[in-house]
Amino acid sequence: MADVTHRQINLLCSVIHVFPPRFVERAKRNLQDFVVINEERRAFILTLWEDFLQTKAPYLAKNVHNMPIILGMRLSVNIFYGLSIGTTPSSIIPFDPPTPQVEDLRLWFKANREYADTVISQKLYEKAYQSVD
């Protein structure tokens, strides 16, 4: 059996791709997945659940072509056959927080936009590419 770990983290990342919203029958909840890349240039799926679909997802979907930078605070991290990151009711997601790290990430993306295209085309965000160290 796989190791199951659950904790909360903060994640500074840029949103580079959006998937359509969907309903998960098993959980009886709505969600929307986004592909994000963090400061370490690692790609992940970030899942926004329920209330975040009304408050944050529309802005991210509308502005994904600009690769908006977010700071996901109190995000849930689950490790079960891969990495899963998502919102919880206590999560907070400010857009473009005023920190030097945000500007560094923005500059890196401007110089390396093709990396975002590679992440999407090669699906480097999928669990098969994730290390859980």
Cross-strand bridge partners of residue 14: 37, 69
> How confident is residue 7, by pLDDT bands cut at 50, 70 and 90?
confident
Tell me the C-alpha distance between 42 and 37, whole Å: 5
The CA R_g of the chain, rounded to the nearest whole Å, is 14
Neighbours of 78 (CB within 10 A): 14
SS3 131: coil
Q: Which domains does the chain have, with CATH numbers?
A: 5-125 (2.40.50.140)
More confident residue, 81 or 97: 97
Q: What is the pLDDT of residue 1?
A: 38
Tell me the C-alpha distance between 45 and 1, whole Å: 23
Q: What is the pLDDT of residue 3?
A: 46
Q: pTM of the predicted model, to two decimals?
A: 0.87
